[in-house]
Amino acid sequence: MPLSLPQLIAAVTVLWAAGCVSIPGAGKGRRPTRALPAPPPKTAWKATASSCESEQYAARNAIDGDPGTRWSSAWSDPQWLQIDMGSPVNLCGVVIRWETAYALRYRIETSTDGNIWQTARTIPLSDGHTDYIFFRPRAARYVRLLGVERATGWGYSVWEIDLIGAAQSPQIKVSGKKVQAAGAAFDGLATSVWTTPSLPVDFVVDLGQSLPLGGIRFEWGESFPARGAIHTSLDGHQWDEAGGFDGGRGKFDVVMFAARTCRYIRVSLPDPTDTPVQIREIILRGPDEDMSPLALYAVAAEKSPPLYPRYLTRRQTFWTAVGPPQAPRESLLDEFGAVEPQAGSPAVFPYLVQGKRISSLEQLGSLRYTLARGYCPIPCLEAIGSNLSVRVCAVPWTADNRNATAVRYQIVNRSAQLETGRLVLVIRPLQTNPPWQYGGWAPIRSLVLRRSEQCGRIEVNEKPYLLVTPVWNASRIARFHNGDVAENLSAVTSLAPVQAEKDSTGQLSAALAFDFRLGPLESFGVVGVFPLVGQPIELREFLAETGALVSPQDAFVEVVDRQTKKWRSLLESFVMSLPLPGLLDTVRAQGAYMLVNQDGPALQPGPRNYNRSWMRDGSLMAAALLRMGITNPVRSFIRWYTERVPPDGWVPPSLDTDGSINKGFGWDREYDSQGEYVFLVMEYYRFTGDRQTLETCYPAMRRAMKYLEKLLSRTRSPDYMRGSRFPERFRGILPPSISHEGYSSPVHSYWDDFWALRGLKDFRAAAIMMENQDDAAWAGRQYELLRSALSNSIRATVETAGIDYIPASADNADFDPSSVSIAFFPCEEQDLLPTAAVVRLYRRYCAESEKRTHPGWKGAYTPYEARNINALCLLGMRSEALALLRFLLAGRHPFEWNAFAEVVHGDKRRGAYIGDLPHTWVGAALVTAVRNMVAMEQGKRLILLAGIPEEWLRSRDGVAVSNLPTRFGHLTMDAHLKGYTLKVTISGDVHPPAGVMIRWPIEKPSQVIVDGENWSNFDASGCYLSQVPKEVTAYW
């Protein structure tokens, strides 16, 4: 399409300003005499953006000169921030000061008219902090920061943006003379280079202004120097040493130095070379750039990615947890075979060396993953190459209040020829847990390697770290220098019986080399044991696992068998036969991971980031464990938490492992724990009948509910929130809190109120059990008062905000189905929700969720959404419930390890926060959702087949459960739909007081037979039975 005249003029102006075209009368290639001005003061600028997270984070904040305000976008890609300077200026650069939520990839674009845009610079990989971006001088009125890919799960957030006029563009001088061609080092173009004079040479970079810096990066062309020295100066006369580089291997070199302000940078390249050096780009590092050893590792990883963990180049790696039930420490095994023995410890990374080829397991070939029996937390991975395969398995070892993690590395020759090589285990000061998960660096300040005839021992930081057998054939300890020990595995040659090194910077690494020579189908194995709790394990103790001193390989197999039997005894008390492959294994694995994450009595949702207890997480994890027949860990958690409910009845939202109150963000502004605690105790009682525990906890339950009444009294005054619009929407419900995740500022969250109703309801039931009629009557009155106030609040909020769905809070009228879903389960208060609004809520949710299945979707979600399956089932939306279940199951990675992260990104390799892994509050939501699809308690009634789709019932084996725990006893059931006949058989000791409801998978049947008799009490929703039948047959 042809350009309009204004567009044509604007395009020519851009090209002319860049020196790409000439204008008649101005002289060939020369600009007119009227030069464009420098950028005006910021007060003359205007900023707009594609979106703002809220008014608090408006676009104008990025240009207001206030370092404490910022722009923050919506949490999606792409987003942009645009500056209008009012008229064209001559521009050559931008300075961006990022908040934590920075862009991984972005572009700087310019325009003279706001319509036609030119890319000034593309940033393929940013690390946030301060970015100095230079480009060729150009005319621009508008400057746009276009975020292409976020580095975190949040949006894009900028503290401040500054613009650099062309008069301040960096200049390079050699022997005091300006080198015009050297501008290529600051133009941002990969196709341009500056070739220095012959080495040795010194040159000075004049930045045009004094800037705060923390380092400098050189991008080299085809020729590069072996070493260089850097000095900085404010005035070009007095110079300060900044650092240097050596061992040059090309690509790039980075010099980091302590933050300083300077205008001049002197670069000395002292070593003669056959050819001059080519510099593609000189990049300035901001004063806030990371100078840590982890940053040095990131530089090494950028040069040699296969030798280092993915996360050093901002790509995600996944892992799973290994440990016995309720132990205080657990290990991580990642998807490429790295082992992190315990939280914060250095990890071990395996490599295969054949000749000059060094392969990580990721590079070796295809990867396969397994758990023992599909659900026991004994993970294995196998890397399958063309000739060799490497298998890594991890298993807990326990004995006499001690526990350790045993790992076997097994190499198999899959070819028909002789194969030789080395398995190398690299111990480095890095965790498996990445830095955006608050992991990353794990300093090694001392390393000792001891060889004996049968085994080797490694001590890290003067503590036992690893026992390995057989002993290694060669080893090496190295200090970090342009990389760690993996950079030169050919130098792993030492046979010394003892090697020891110390390094105060913590940058030691070691390599252990195990030689193999394998004929066709032969195998070779190395077994390592990491001590976690108690005294270190001796080799003879490990070998004795078989009852005789046999090979370490046999002992390892025996440990796996023994631990598998223990897990089976815990997890196989019930059976669910469902036609979705692997679903029962996934459910059981969540129960296993809950016990692995549990430290002593403390139920915890994660092995690393979330290694503390929340009543919120713990109550729902306990509910899931009870539905799996696992009761003792729940009882210990209840008693541990009950001891920490103070006299005033405030239930601490979160406890550290030692039982102290965790005082993290908002610790005293969370009000859901009151109801969750009472629900937890009563749910345990309903499943176990353990009256002694109920009696022990009853005083704390009573105090918790009295504290709840005190909270409610704050909002029951007729003057509460007077002056706000429709103040009645705030009255009588719980005061503002941050209980439900997503609220950084306190709001009147309905999540709290649903839990409060559940707590009051359950306390009334407990009081009746304890024959305390006064408490029961009081709880009943409080329940009715709150229920009425909550109903009024929801209706008033819907009306005030002009919405047509159930909101999650009175303040924000926000769309959050996962928060509302607890009204269905476990709170069982869906009847107070307006039916039309609640249906619209979930229909909209399903419609929006479908977009996530489209190729290229780059958003993020949390599998907490499994809670929505309960709501969808009770609303009769079976197909939507099944679609959501399938979607959430697809978010596991590797899916065979059956572990769920708290946050899942559309780009699974995005190096961004994932919460924790395995995250067992998410796992608990999955367990209860799947179980409730089959059998769900609602009040004193048991609802069967509420979420079972027609296709499952028509499958060859139908749907069956055996010995499934419920609040009313154990359920055994078999259900088939063949042709136009549904047959359901029920047995077991299940006896719900209000009977059973069987939900129909399709429309209302024409006839129902119950235990051989015609039955009339059914409708389009289901069949209602006051007692549990043996057999129900429905005909269509």
CATH of the domain at 1016: 2.60.40
User: In this structure, are 230 and 125 located in the same domain?
Assistant: no
- What SS3 class is residue 93? strand
**What confidence tier does 989 reach under pLDDT thresholds 50, 70, 90?**
very high
Q: How high is the pLDDT of residue 54?
A: 86
> What are the angstrom distances between the C-alpha of 650 and each of 444, 647, 705, 739, 903?
43, 8, 9, 14, 30
Residue 249: pLDDT band by 50, 70, 90 thresholds? confident
Question: In which band, very low, low, confident or very high, does the pLDDT at 549 lie, cut at 50, 70 and 90?
Answer: low
CATH of the domain at 218: 2.60.120.260
Q: Which long-range contacts (CB under 8 A, 24 or more apart) does 559-566 make?
A: 559/395, 559/397, 559/406, 560/372, 560/378, 560/393, 560/395, 563/324, 563/372, 563/376, 563/378, 563/395, 563/396, 564/372, 564/373, 564/376, 564/378, 566/324
pLDDT given at position 548: 58
Does a structural domain hold residue 298? no
Same domain, yes or no: 557 and 580: no
The token pair at 734 is: 């719980």
Domain-ending residue, one of 518, 538, 571: 571
Q: What is the rounded CA–CA span in Å between residue 623 and residue 79?
A: 41
* SS3 annotation, 58-75: CHHHHHCCCCCCCEECCC
CATH code, 615: 1.50.10.10
Phi-psi group of 400: left, alpha or beta (phi > 0 → left; psi -120 to 50 → alpha; rest → beta): left
How far apart are the C-alpha atoms of 493 and 497, rounded to whole Å? 12
Do the domain assignments include residue 296? no
- Orientation angle between helical segments 673-688 and 750-769, nearest 10 degrees: 40
Residue 105 lies in a domain: yes
CA-based angle 712:716:721, to the nearest 5? 105
From residue 240, give the alpha-carbon distance in Å to each of 62, 260, 265, 983. Answer: 33, 10, 10, 86
Q: Is 738 left (phi over 0), alpha (psi -120 to 50) or beta?
A: alpha
Residue 11: pLDDT band with limits 50, 70, 90? very low
Give me the pLDDT at residue 23, please: 35
- Residue-wise pLDDT for 769-805, tens only, equals 999 999 999 999 999 999 999 999 999 999 999 999 9
Grouping H, G, I as helix, E, B as strand and the rest as coil, residue 485 is: helix
Report pTM: 0.91
Clarify whether residues 136 and 183 are in a common domain: no
Q: Are residues 206 and 325 in the same domain?
A: no
Q: Please give the tally of structural domains in the chain.
A: 5
The pLDDT tens digits for 305-322 are 999 999 999 899 999 999
Q: At 6, is the pLDDT very low, low, confident or very high (cuts 50, 70, 90)?
A: very low
Q: Which of 470, 507, 513 is nearest to 491 (CA)?
A: 513
β-sheet with 402-413: strand ranges across:
366-372, 376-384, 388-399, 402-413, 523-533, 463-469, 456-460, 446-451, 498-502
Percentage, residues of the chain above pLDDT 90? 86
What stretches of 729-864 adopt beta strand conformation (E)? 860-861
pLDDT of residue 705 exceeding 60:
yes
Query: At residue 14, does pLDDT exceed 70?
Result: no
Strand partners, 928: none
Query: In this structure, are 180 and 104 located in the same domain?
Result: no
Give 401's pLDDT tier (boundaries 50, 70, 90).
confident
Using alpha carbons, list the distances in angstroms from residue 682 to 23, 662, 727, 769: 85, 25, 35, 10
Domain boundary among 152, 167, 182: 167
What is the average pLDDT across 855-860? Answer: 87
**Beta bridge partners of residue 320, listed in sequence order:** 333
Same domain? For 991 and 920 the reply is: no
**First CA to last CA distance, the chain:** 62
Is the bond preceding 170 in cis, omega lying within 30 degrees of 0?
no
Is the Cβ–Cβ distance between 172 and 194 less than 8 Å? yes
Task: Give tens-digit pLDDT for 326-344.
Answer: 999 999 999 999 999 999 9
What is the mean predicted confidence (pLDDT) over 575-584? 95
Q: What is the pLDDT of residue 278?
A: 95
Residue 738 sits in which domain range?
A: 575-936
Asked if residue 297 is part of any domain, the answer here is: no
DSSP string, 199-246: SSEEEEEEEEEEEEEEEEEEEE-SS--S-EEEEEESSSSS-EEEEEE-
Domain stop point among 571, 606, 623: 571
Is 470 part of any domain? yes
CATH assignment at residue 457: 2.70.98.10
Question: Do 672 and 738 form a contact (C-beta atoms < 8 A)?
Answer: no
By CB neighbour count within 10 A (0-12 exposed, 13-18 middle, 19+ buried), where does 720 fall? Answer: middle
pLDDT category of residue 35 using cuts at 50, 70 and 90: confident
- Residue 477 and residue 550 share a domain: yes
Residues 527 and 621 in one domain: no
3 state SS of 435: helix
Cis omega before residue 470 (within 30°)? Answer: yes
Q: Do 442 and 532 fall into the same domain?
A: yes
The pLDDT value recorded for residue 859 is: 86
197: Cβ contacts below 8 Å, ≥ 6 apart: 174, 276
- Lowest mean pLDDT of 162-171, 173-182, 217-226, 740-749, name the range: 740-749
Amino acid at 497: P
| Length in residues, the chain | 1036
- CA 165, CA 137: separation in Å to the nearest integer? 8
952 and 915 co-located in one domain: no
Which helix (DSSP H) or strand (DSSP E) does residue 553 occupy? helix 552-571
Q: CA dihedral defined by 623, 624, 629, 635, rounded to 10 degrees? A: -40
Query: pLDDT by residue (tens digit) across 59-74?
Result: 999 999 999 999 999 9
Nearest to 111 by CA among 208, 22, 260, 9: 9
Q: If DSSP states are collapsed to H, E and C, what string results for 302-355?
A: HHCHHHCCHHHHCECCCEEEECCCCCCCCEEEECCCCEECCCCCCEEEEEEEEC
Average pLDDT over residues 245-254: 88
User: In Å, what is the CA distance from 837 to each residue of 790, 801, 803, 820, 1021?
Assistant: 15, 13, 9, 12, 20
Mean pLDDT across the stretch 879-897? Answer: 96
Contact indicator for 426, 511 with CB cutoff of 8 Å: yes
Instruction: Report the Cα 862 to chain-centroid distance in Å.
Output: 9
Q: What is the C-alpha to C-alpha distance for residues 680 and 643, in angstroms, rounded to an integer? A: 15
- Full 3-state SS string of 283-298: EEECCCCCCCHHHHHH
Q: Return d(Cα 931, Cα 443) in angstroms, integer.
A: 45
Euclidean distance between CA atoms 509 and 523, whole angstroms: 28
Residue 636 maps to a domain: yes
Question: CA Rg, the chain, in Å?
Answer: 33
Structure tokens at 372: 């023992």
15 domain-assigned:
yes
Residue 31: pLDDT over 60: no
- At 34 the pLDDT is 58
Asked whether the beta carbons of 647 and 472 are under 8 A apart, the reply is no
Query: Do 179 and 79 belong together in one domain?
Result: no
| Residue 631 falls inside a structural domain | yes
State residue 547's pLDDT score.
63
Which backbone phi and psi does 748 adopt, to 5 degrees?
-80, 90
pLDDT, average across residues 270-292: 91
Contact partners, residue 206, CB within 8 Å, separation at least 6:
170, 171, 172, 173, 236, 263, 264
- In terms of DSSP bridges, do strands 996-999 and 941-944 run parallel, antiparallel, or are they unpaired? parallel
> Are 444 and 489 within one domain?
yes
pLDDT band at 254 (very low <50, low <70, confident <90, very high): very high
Top-confidence residue, 549 or 726 = 726
Task: Check whether 291 has a pLDDT greater than 90.
Answer: no
Average pLDDT for 281-298: 92
Q: Check if the beta carbon of residue 34 is closer than 8 Å to that of residue 27.
A: no
CA distances from 62 to 105, 160, 783 (A): 19, 4, 48
